[in-house]
Amino acid sequence: MLSEINRKIMYIQIVIKNDVGVCFYQILDVFNKLNMRIVKTISKENTLQIEFENVHFKVFSELMKALREIELISDVKTVSFLYDSLHEDSNNLLYKIINENIISLNHKYQIINLSNLAIKTLKLNAKNQKTNFIGESILDFIPGYSDSLKKTNKTLLELNNHKYIAKTYPLKEKDMVNNHKGYILKLEAYDKKILKRKFEAIFFEDLIGESKLFLNTIEVLKNYANVNEPLFLYGETGTGKEILARCSHNYSERKNFPFIVISCASIPDYCLETELFGIKVLSSGRVSRGIFELANGGTVFFDNASEMSSTFQTKLLRLLETKTFRRVGSEEEIKVDVKIICSAQMKLKTLMNQGLFRKDLYYRLNALSIDIPPLRYRKNDITLFCKYFFKEYSHKQTYEAFINKYPQFEKEVLQNFWYGNIRELKNYLLNKIFDVNTSNTFYVDEIDSQQSLLNQLEYEKRSLDVIMKNYEAKIFESLYKNYPSTRKLAKRLGISHTAVANKLKEYVIKLN
């Protein structure tokens, strides 16, 4: 059973289309029918803010429903406080009940008022144990705050070894154009979960590649980086879609804010809303923030967007349409500013045509898109990757020395199809550098590339049994050159001497 909402005072904000006077009387009529008492109203142009006494959740739900049915109202939502109340005295009820870091400043950046939580936050950063911060300059606690404010209304800062996202809301009088009468400063904790998820800084300049196709791709991504519309990266597995998304984020103006990855296939529908939007526990008032709130100001990367469930698609569509969401258990509309980047291996239009992906969501997500070129179209870059992986993992020899010993290796690598792209090439080279069983450097001609063999068999119309036998025969034939006895080959493969002898006989491989 839902308990009563804990706050003694509640606030809603209503946006009125037209006929403000008529609409106001309709709103009063709704409050009167529900026996609810209005404490205070603030009206500016077509926006009306109402302060009223706390009611049971059921009554509150009836209120919101009735207000949304009024035709003259375009939007109604709960808000945390009335903005015009921020300049009242320091005992203002607002600052006692709000559980957020809210600081009110005048035009000289002096503190006019602040919430109880903000007092605790500033105390941690104060050089001496202050108890009253009214009249103090915020610049004493956040050096450089006024300079950063000239560039952006959001900035990342550190107070007493704790990171915060500082958001500033300028307060203007109607006749003021360039100057502000003051500011509302909100400090949001830069959640530790974000820090754990944050990838080490990687930039476009760190990427490997000099082929024209690759350089063109990077140039397009740089042009898209500061465009706030959703970006879609299409590419095969192993082409580096997530790394490119991170580079795009770090190249953009959002680089000081979180980059969070969502694996679309891994979030079950039953906890989808909680994960994405967070939850408010009505009995305790405790709030757990979701992914979008944690990523506010930054980027959310949807990995394998083609795997989104229909429920996932519906929830995401509303967020993209309104830029707002509600936590589970709350009526408060929360606005977020995030860049959406998606990835997929197959074109979403194919899924859309099959009825597996919503058309309206497809056209919203596919605003900007780019195809990431596979490695087989970047032949000039394959050698660069080989040199890089040898430098990273081989402490005994360079790639050039390896090629001098095994000149056929480079030809084999360049001719391979690389279905798994950079990831497959890396794994292949690791197996060439180190032999898993003996920890010794392993000869390149020991075995042909598995993928090359699959490429050959791909076009042969044979049964699985025949294909597997052909594959096994090639393995025995290739390995036997470097392990020219049944005893050595048995040890290499980890099978019995008899099994090796039988296989060699079956595949007519002549013993030396």
- Residues 380 and 210 sit within 8 Å (Cβ to Cβ): yes
- Domain CATH for 411: 1.10.8
Query: Which residue, 220, 195, 221, is CA-closest to 298?
Result: 195
Range of lowest pLDDT (197-201, 220-224, 476-480, 484-488):
197-201
Q: Are residues 96 and 169 in the same domain?
A: yes
Quick one: pLDDT at residue 286?
75
Query: Which residue, 371, 313, 314, 381, is CA-closest to 344?
Result: 371
Percent of the chain with pLDDT over 70: 73
- Domain CATH for 39: 3.30.70.260
d(CA 27, CA 143): 46
Residue 453 resides in a domain: no
Asked if the model's pLDDT at residue 455 lies above 80, the reply is no
- Domain CATH for 233: 3.40.50.300
Q: Are residues 293 and 419 in the same domain?
A: no
Strand partners, 370: 233
Range of lowest pLDDT (251-255, 388-392, 421-425):
388-392
Output the six-digit token pair for 495: 């099978």
Quick one: pLDDT at residue 175?
44
Q: Are residues 209 and 327 in the same domain?
A: yes
Asked if the model's pLDDT at residue 373 lies above 70, the reply is yes
Residue 312 resides in a domain: yes
Q: Are residues 210 and 156 in the same domain?
A: no
Query: Which residue, 400, 394, 388, is CA-closest to 425?
Result: 388
Range of lowest pLDDT (73-87, 146-160, 315-329):
146-160
Confidence of residue 509 (pLDDT cuts 50, 70, 90): low
Residue 361 resides in a domain: yes
Asked if the model's pLDDT at residue 195 lies above 60, the reply is no
Q: Are residues 327 and 472 in the same domain?
A: no
Q: How many domains does the chain have?
A: 5
Residue 186 resides in a domain: yes
Domain C-terminal end among 27, 44, 79 = 79
Mean pLDDT confidence for 156-185: 66
| Contacts with 422 (C-beta within 8 Å, 6 or more apart), sequence order | 238, 239, 240, 375, 385
| Contacts with 118 (C-beta within 8 Å, 6 or more apart), sequence order | 100, 101, 102, 103, 187
- Residues 369 and 406 sit within 8 Å (Cβ to Cβ): no
Quick one: pLDDT at residue 220?
95
Asked if the model's pLDDT at residue 198 lies above 50, the reply is no
- Domain CATH for 159: 3.30.450.20
- Domain CATH for 467: 1.10.10.60
Q: Are residues 222 and 361 in the same domain?
A: yes
Confidence of residue 465 (pLDDT cuts 50, 70, 90): low
Output the six-digit token pair for 91: 């005992």
Residue 2 resides in a domain: no
Residue 1 resides in a domain: no
Asked if the model's pLDDT at residue 174 lies above 70, the reply is no
Residue 73 resides in a domain: yes
Highest mean pLDDT: which range of 98-102, 104-108, 287-291, 368-372: 368-372
Strands lying side by side in the sheet with 368-371: 259-263, 299-303, 339-344, 231-234, 368-371
Q: Are residues 53 and 97 in the same domain?
A: no
Query: Which residue, 17, 15, 19, is CA-closest to 43?
Result: 15
Q: Are residues 72 and 46 in the same domain?
A: yes
Query: Which residue, 346, 261, 353, is CA-closest to 307?
Result: 346
Residue 425 resides in a domain: yes
Q: Are residues 361 and 407 in the same domain?
A: no
Q: Are residues 178 and 216 in the same domain?
A: no
Output the six-digit token pair for 421: 């792209």
Quick one: pLDDT at residue 464?
65
Domain C-terminal end among 155, 170, 190 = 190
Predicted confidence (pLDDT) per residue in 484-502, tens digit: 888 888 878 778 777 888 8
Q: Are residues 396 and 418 in the same domain?
A: yes
Q: Are residues 386 and 350 in the same domain?
A: no
Strands (E), 304-367: 324-326, 333-335, 339-344
Mean pLDDT confidence for 119-124: 74
Q: Dihedrals φ, ψ of 473, to 5°?
A: -60, -40
Asked if the model's pLDDT at residue 301 lies above 60, the reply is yes
- Is the overall model pTM greater than 0.75, yes or no? no
Domain containing 99 equals 86-190
Domain C-terminal end among 190, 211, 238 = 190
Range of lowest pLDDT (168-177, 245-254, 311-320):
168-177
Higher pLDDT, 507 or 207: 207
